[in-house]
Amino acid sequence: MGQARHAGGRPVAGISPQPWQVWWADLDSTVGHEQSGRRPVVVVASQEHCAMFGRSVTVIVPLTTRERPLPNRVKVTLPGKPDSWAITEQPRTVSLARLSTLVTTLSAPVQTELKTALRAMIDIS
């Protein structure tokens, strides 16, 4: 699958991310302590969000291979890659132009762990 392109808020052709999918993304440019670079991300946007805005933007959580002893970090295993952790304290809305390749869809148990961690990080029940 080729790199998606985006211009001026128009839909991005060929990309249709769904909740709990992992995609490769280019998160540059950033400010401060935001995660940057090319890395896997988890789509955490709801089905409703995807239906409303899923042709231009989505909500993601970046992954890192750096393990930190934080209770909100959720371990994610990707095929053929080192273990990763979801950085649930950094949800972010991104253009679909940042996404390039679908990696996998997370298992139901990992989805449940991520939902619990996200609820704690953004104060929803």
Helices (H), 3-124: 47-53, 108-122
Residues 6+ apart with CB under 8 A from 80: none
For residue 90, what are its two tokens? Answer: 């950094």
CATH architecture of the domain with residue range 21-122: Roll (2.30)
To the question of pTM greater than 0.85 for the whole model, the response is yes
Strands annotated E in the chain: 21-26, 38-43, 57-64, 74-76, 84-86, 92-95, 99-105
pLDDT tens-digit profile, the chain (125 residues): 344 443 344 556 778 899 999 999 999 887 877 787 899 999 999 999 988 887 899 999 999 999 998 999 999 999 999 999 999 999 999 999 999 999 999 999 999 999 999 999 998 87
- Could you state, in order of their start, the residue ranges of all structural domains in the chain? 21-122
